[in-house]
Amino acid sequence: MQRTSPSLLGGAMIIAGTAIGAGMLANPTSTAGVWFIGSILALIYTWFCMTTSGLMILEANLHYPTGASFDTIVKDLLGRGWNVLNGLSIAFVLYILTYAYITSGGGITQNLLNQALGAEAIGRPSGSLIFCIILAAFVWLSTKAVDRFSTILIGGMVVAFFLSTGGLLGSVQHEVLFNTLAQGEQQYLPYIFAALPVCLVSFGFHGNVPSLVKYYDRDGKRVMKSIFIGTGLALVIYILWQLAVQGNLPRSEFAPVIAKGGDVSALLEALHRYIETDYIAVILNFFAYMAIASSFLGVTLGLFDYIADLLKFDDSPLGRSKTTLITFLPPLLLSLQFPYGFVIAIGYAGLAATIWAAIVPALLARASRKKFPNATYKVYGGNFMIGFIILFGLLNIVAQVGVNLGWFASFAG
């Protein structure tokens, strides 16, 4: 019997689900300094660079056996030193994100079950445990199971997104969106460095590329299309969300939101002065839960395949069980021990992500073209694009370090 190729939609939903997570809710606040036009330019620039670097991973990945992930590819093309650095950055980012999503998803699970079963029916550890076990089961089953469930989650997320932003989009004010009211300071460009690292985290999907190569049976064109569709959907949703928030809440009114680290409840409270937000808060809770769940599935699928390749576990039920334990047990135990402790660590996830989501992919593309000159699939742009993506990575490292050390201005409202 001829094997049916998985749909493009499934792969695109894995990519979109991984990218669209908690970073989206932070985007309007982190880009308040550069405001709407600046934020759109930053998002498009980041989308293009991150999509291109993902395709560079695909280009290198196609030269290796099905199931090969970063450990095999980077070690062969760039050597042991780069492989150790890349492996540490991948493990740090994916484990920290898994930990973050378990704690966030566990908190929402706890609240939902307590509302359904009665006050204090379960505690935070139980909520995290339930959230992790149920979703981990889909990753253990197969990439196809993640595809199907991610499609459902993304579908629900898109519906919740448009329900929650429909009223906001309908009340966008031109003078607020383009900040022509001349309230507060009017500088924009100095704040671009503070915006870039958050935009980068918002387009993180690179750990899923080897998984999709295996899923689509090494069909590079289908993987490429799923990446473009998935990241394109993420970009559209981000732009609409920027429009909804920055078109209603004046730039000068972001101070209390920034003071609370971009907390969603603080953002809704600030918006409440300009538009009715009670129903939006309810729908946004559903949106956030589906966004966290879909991102959790995408991130852990990439981590799962990386660990299986690193430790050479096979695809049998026993092999997948061993990989599942190593993937989920450390962040779950960390979440149970420190349910609110990820804020500082996750701030550096973007810095580590820059290494394996921008710089290493560009170096892989350059090395694979030297080693495999007759490759059937090559990313557009030639050597210029390799340099362009490396520059993007270095710019983000400088921005992340510079903002943390106070070298660059941070918008305070």
How large is the average pLDDT for residues 67-80?
Answer: 89
- Does 359 or 3 have the greater pLDDT score? 359
Judged by average pLDDT, the poorest of 76-85, 149-158, 274-283, 325-334 is: 274-283
**Per-residue confidence (pLDDT) for residue 342, from 0 to 100:** 52
Query: 217-255: per-residue pLDDT in tens?
Result: 889 999 999 999 999 999 998 999 899 888 888 888 887
**Per-residue confidence (pLDDT) for residue 1, from 0 to 100:** 44
What's the start-to-end Cα distance of the chain, in Å? 62
Asked if 27 and 200 touch (Cβ cutoff 8 Å), the reply is: no
Judged by average pLDDT, the poorest of 40-44, 329-333, 335-339, 355-359 is: 335-339
**Per-residue confidence (pLDDT) for residue 64, from 0 to 100:** 92
Alpha helices in 216-277 (DSSP H): 220-246, 255-259, 264-271
Mean pLDDT of all residues in the chain? 84
Provide the residue ranges of all domains of the chain, joining segments of one domain with +: 8-405
Cα–Cα dist 294/386, whole Å: 31
Right CATH for 8-405 from 1.10.3720.10, 1.20.1740.10, 3.40.50.1370, 1.10.420.10: 1.20.1740.10
Listed in sequence order, the residues at least 6 apart from 142 whose beta carbon sits closer than 8 Å to its beta carbon are: none
Alpha helices in 6-123 (DSSP H): 8-19, 22-30, 35-61, 70-78, 80-117
Query: 150-206: per-residue pLDDT in tens?
Result: 888 888 888 888 887 777 788 888 888 887 776 666 788 888 888 888 888 889 889
Q: Residue 376 pLDDT more than 90?
A: no
Task: Please report, as a single letter, which amino acid is at residue 381.
Answer: G
**Closest of 122, 124, 129 to residue 339, by C-alpha:** 124
In this structure, what is the dihedral angle of CA atoms 54, 57, 63, 67, given to the nearest 10 degrees?
A: -90
- Does 324 or 337 have the greater pLDDT score? 324
- Does 157 or 280 have the greater pLDDT score? 157
Query: 94-143: per-residue pLDDT in tens?
Result: 888 888 888 878 877 887 788 777 777 788 788 889 999 998 998 898 87
How large is the average pLDDT for residues 385-410?
Answer: 90
Residue 23: pLDDT band (50, 70, 90) is: low
